[in-house]
Amino acid sequence: MKTLWRSLCCMLVWCVVICTSVFADAKKSAAGNVYSWDFSDCLIRDILYVVSLDTGISIVSDDTVSGKADFRFTGKDFETAFDSFLKAARLYVLKEDEVWTVSRFKIEELNGLYNLDVCDLSAEQIVEKLSLFLGTVLTYEVLPAGTMNMHFRGLDEFGLVQSVCLRLNGYTLERTDAGYHFAKRTVSTGMGVSGLGNVEVHSGDEGAVFVDVHDSRAGDVLEALFELNDSDGSGDFKGFCVLAGSDVKITRSCFVGKNFEDALDKVCAQCGLRVVCSDGVLYVVSDSGARDKLVEGNKNWYKVKLEYGKAVEFVSILKKRFGNLECVILPDEMSFLVCVNEQVFEEICLLKDEVDLKTDTYLVELKYIRPEEMLKYLPPGFDRECLFFADDNSCVYYKGTETAYLNLLEQVKICDRPVVRVSYDLLILQYEEGNENSWNPNFSAGRMKIGDRNDFGVKIGNVLNLNLNVISAFGLGFAVQLQTAIEENKTSVFADTTLHGVAGKQINFQNTNTYRYRDNNLDPQTGKPVYSGVTKEIVSGLKLDVVGFVSGDGMITSTVTASVTRQGIDTSSSTGNPPPTSEKVITTEVCGKSGEPIVISGLVQSSNSQSSSGVPLISKVPLLGALFKTSEKITEKSQMVIYLVPHIEEYNSSYISNENEKESLQIQTALLERCEAFYKKNLLEDTNEQL
């Protein structure tokens, strides 16, 4: 028997050892598993189901779990990852030995105190779960819809249930024999008590009325006020009637009115109401502006009279300072009415004393610019409404203070400057080029003979008579060549003048011929041209437009537009069509100093003509006359060359106004004297004679 007992004990020990080893190996194997999940926008119940299958842990969810979530995990520490997932999804878990329960409701008991955590549950679910856990009957009326969250710590049973009731808002907790009841608050008509809060109204010293309202309706507060007035026996009113706003809620109000009327007005103003008395009965009616009046105070109409300024200007300042005010400007334009409270009116009076200052009228004399130009380029800091035109074109009136007037004069000195004047020495030459007229100018110098002293001046006399100083602008060689071409009729002076203007303004020069012709229409019956009664014009010739801008360092930027129009042979008598025209246009912009010449060429016009010659009389005989006459086609080309020399004119000089022109004349005189001395010296050495 003892041997059998020993054998059984040994077998039992070996079984325990083997089971312990197997359990340890299984636990070690499970701990070494690596889990990997990737859930995106999946149902929470599906996520818990898959995790339960993979881990071998029984995980269940109660009826509070719903919705979707994301869960991504790869690793061995499953419990930490699972707790993080529940926290992100606003869930709680109750871990027991055999099963884990996931829920949105979590309650714990510790030493008779409770900790409650609820996320995204309806009021009915919270009360139901709480009743099941506490084992207490919790009854309720219709609970508010929607989900809510609750988190309470360290509360006993009554405190926990009461906290839940307060969280529902609008419910009171009542004890019953079986447990607790959540009762919805109802409006009570009892004096001084409101269904949504408390109303305390009582009289004080010298007729004062104390009002303390907390979370109550306006109708209950008004009723308490009227009952207090009737109970005191001091009311002079027959009754009251609330026509609007009885359901308006007053969250919190506590004040002392001077009397019944003052307290009544303040309560009505808070609710957007006002009181109207008719036949001793007080009627409470709606008033949308009552609250604004309560904040801004009682408004009255005040008259404001200005001494110097206009009411329109001052009212615009008031609206910028105080916002939208109700103002009425009186006919005298110096005063106005304004509807404000007493405090705002005092601020308006202070502002009037600062703004309504005496202003005088001053005369501003202009030297160079016109009043219109001054207003166009008015210095900064001045208003155009303060300036007025005078009778003449050299003065303006300024209305303002003396300090502002002196400041204006300083600013006017800066802008009241003379306009820069420019002038252009214009020389237009027409060069003729054709088969019968070719020009190859040559210039040579030889020894002078007796009597040739004055011949040099004669040869360039035509050039010296030009308005443009050709020698100083282009040199002596060009002047001699030009003189030769003029004498041989190969070059003609088309224009020689000086154009004066101001900087920035256009200067126009036009030398044209106007040809007028009748506009004919063809007669549909005869096919012959018939005069339509309309006369048209063709303008041919030269047009020149120049605009000069002067920079600060004296550089002149000239924009030149030149056009040459030429009219062809008149064929209107034979064809009925207007004569043909040709046009050449050049536009350029040149920048240079005063006195530097500008040359514009390329305005070339060509014309074809035919000439015939023959033996008199015989050449006119038909057929036979062709043997005694010759015909020749002649092609002629003419080129317009424009020479411009810009100058900046000073106001103290006449035509020669700057130092550059004076220096050019000095150089010209010195050059002529040197030429005469050179020829005189060579002539004396050859002839040994003295002039």
In tens, the pLDDT along 620-674 reads 767 666 667 777 676 677 788 888 889 888 755 443 444 455 556 666 666 666 6
Mean pLDDT of 68-73: 86
Q: What is 112-184's CATH number, 3.30.70.1280, 3.40.50.720, 3.55.50.30, 3.90.1200.10?
A: 3.55.50.30
Q: Which amino acid appears at position 232 of this protein? A: D
Tokens of 543: 């047009």
Tokens of 645: 């020399």
The CATH number of domain 35-103 is 3.55.50.30: yes
Mean pLDDT of 403-422: 82
Per-residue confidence (pLDDT) for residue 460, from 0 to 100:
63
Please name the residue that has the structure tokens 């979590």: 106
CB 589 within 8 A of CB 627: no
Compute CA distances 481 → 17, 102, 471, 670, whole Å: 137, 116, 11, 21
SS3 for 509? strand
Instruction: Tell which residue, 243, 246, 240, 245, has the closest CA to residue 278.
Output: 240
Q: Does pLDDT of 437 surpass 50?
A: no
Mean pLDDT of 512-540: 74
CA 86 – CA 66 distance, rounded (Å): 13
At 292, is the pLDDT very low, low, confident or very high (cuts 50, 70, 90)? Answer: low
Higher pLDDT, 167 or 237: 167
CATH tag, 360-415: 3.30.1370
Q: Which of 29-33, 537-541, 588-592, 632-636 has the lowest mean pLDDT?
A: 29-33
CB 503 within 8 A of CB 559: no
Mean pLDDT of 357-364: 78
b/e map 145-171, b = 16+ CB within 10 Å: eeebebebeebebeebbeebbeebeeb
Please name the residue that has the structure tokens 């009854």: 139
Mean pLDDT of 171-176: 84
Given this chain, do its domains 300-355 and 360-415 carry the same CATH topology?
A: yes
pLDDT digits (tens, 9 = 90+) for 217-264: 888 888 888 877 776 655 566 677 887 877 788 888 888 888 888 888
CA 223 – CA 194 distance, rounded (Å): 11
Per-residue confidence (pLDDT) for residue 377, from 0 to 100:
73
For the chain, how far is it from start to end, CA to CA, in angstroms? Answer: 182
Per-residue confidence (pLDDT) for residue 408, from 0 to 100:
82
Q: Which of 296-305, 386-395, 547-556, 612-621 has the lowest mean pLDDT?
A: 612-621
Residue 647 phi, psi (nearest 5) = -140, 150
Neighbours of 420 (CB within 10 A): 18
Q: Pairing state of beta strands 281-286 and 239-242?
A: parallel
The burial class, CB within 10 Å (0-12 / 13-18 / 19+), for 537 is exposed
Neighbours of 560 (CB within 10 A): 20
Q: Which of 140-149, 291-300, 411-420 has the lowest mean pLDDT?
A: 291-300
178: left (phi over 0), alpha (psi -120 to 50) or beta: alpha
The burial class, CB within 10 Å (0-12 / 13-18 / 19+), for 322 is middle
Sheet containing strand 239-242, strands side by side? 239-242, 281-286, 273-278
Q: Does pLDDT of 189 surpass 50?
A: no
Q: Where are the beta strands (DSSP E) in 185-299?
A: 193-194, 197-203, 209-217, 239-242, 249-257, 273-278, 281-286
Q: Which amino acid appears at position 280 of this protein? A: G
Per-residue confidence (pLDDT) for residue 389, from 0 to 100:
76
Q: Which of 112-121, 123-132, 420-429, 629-638 has the lowest mean pLDDT?
A: 629-638
Tell the CATH topology of 300-355: Ribosomal Protein S8; Chain: A, domain 1 (3.30.1370)
Mean pLDDT of 429-437: 66
Could you give the percent of the chain with pLDDT greater than 70? 74
Per-residue confidence (pLDDT) for residue 654, from 0 to 100:
41
SS3 for 396? strand
Per-residue confidence (pLDDT) for residue 603, from 0 to 100:
78
Q: Does pLDDT of 101 surpass 80?
A: yes
SS3 for 581? strand
Higher pLDDT, 521 or 334: 334
pLDDT digits (tens, 9 = 90+) for 632-644: 676 677 788 888 8
Mean pLDDT of 312-319: 86
CB 320 within 8 A of CB 278: no
Mean pLDDT of 329-351: 87
Instruction: Tell which residue, 364, 418, 407, 417, has the closest CA to residue 387.
Output: 364
Per-residue confidence (pLDDT) for residue 458, from 0 to 100:
44
Q: Does pLDDT of 440 surpass 80?
A: no
Q: Pairing state of beta strands 179-184 and 137-140?
A: parallel
CA 498 – CA 427 distance, rounded (Å): 9
Chain centroid to CA 21: 83
Q: Where are the domains of the chain?
A: 35-103, 112-184, 193-295, 300-355, 360-415, 500-639
Per-residue confidence (pLDDT) for residue 641, from 0 to 100:
87
Per-residue confidence (pLDDT) for residue 379, from 0 to 100:
74
- Torsion sign across C-alpha atoms 90, 94, 99, 101: negative
Mean pLDDT of 536-543: 81
Mean pLDDT of 368-391: 76
Mean pLDDT of 415-420: 80
DSSP 452-507: -TTHHHHHTHHHHTSSS-HHHHH-HHHHHHHHHHHHTTSEEEEEEEEEEEETTSEE
pLDDT digits (tens, 9 = 90+) for 44-60: 888 888 888 888 888 88
Instruction: Tell which residue, 128, 191, 210, 116, has the closest CA to residue 154.
Output: 116
Please name the residue that has the structure tokens 């006993």: 156
SS3 for 598? strand
Per-residue confidence (pLDDT) for residue 250, from 0 to 100:
83
SS3 for 334? coil
Residue 295 phi, psi (nearest 5) = -75, -45
Per-residue confidence (pLDDT) for residue 233, from 0 to 100:
58
Mean pLDDT of 134-149: 86
Per-residue confidence (pLDDT) for residue 672, from 0 to 100:
65
Q: At the top level of CATH, which class does the domain 193-295 belong to?
A: alpha beta
Higher pLDDT, 549 or 7: 549
Q: Which amino acid appears at position 103 of this protein? A: S
CA 51 – CA 55 distance, rounded (Å): 6
